[in-house]
Amino acid sequence: MSQLNIIKQGAGHFIVDGDLTFATIDKQTLKSFSFLKAAKEITIDLGRVSCTDSAGLALMIEWVKYSRHNRTHIAFKNIPEQLLNLAKLSGLDQTSHFAIQTD
């Protein structure tokens, strides 16, 4: 298990490093959404996520809802295949937030 870290890369650009799983997403993670207020356009790079499950998708959905509430646009890039497959099951891959982008 790899600890979840959110690393600021610049104005509105963040990298998620570690696992997005039930084991790594805790109450503190759910309370630490303030980074989503950093800019009006937020990009979250998931290329360094090593393991994920449905909790990771649930966290992403919460980030999207929080961003909408704060009138911020959020987009994910380098989405791991496992997470993208979970998003496809629910049709979330069709939203602009889940656009398939890679560097």
pLDDT higher than threshold 80 for residue 96: no
Single out the residue of 81, 45, 17, 102 nearest to residue 93, CA to CA.
Answer: 81
Segment 60-72, tens digit of pLDDT: 999 999 999 999 9
Level-2 CATH architecture, domain 5-98: 2-Layer Sandwich (3.30)
What was the pLDDT predicted at 55? Answer: 93
Segment 31-88, tens digit of pLDDT: 788 888 889 999 999 999 999 999 999 999 999 999 999 999 999 999 999 988 888 8
Tell me the whole-structure pTM to 2 decimals.
0.85
16: number of CA atoms within 13 Å, CB side? 29
| 1-21: average pLDDT | 91
E strand segments, the chain: 5-10, 13-20, 41-52, 73-77
DSSP 26-38: -HHHHH--GGGGS
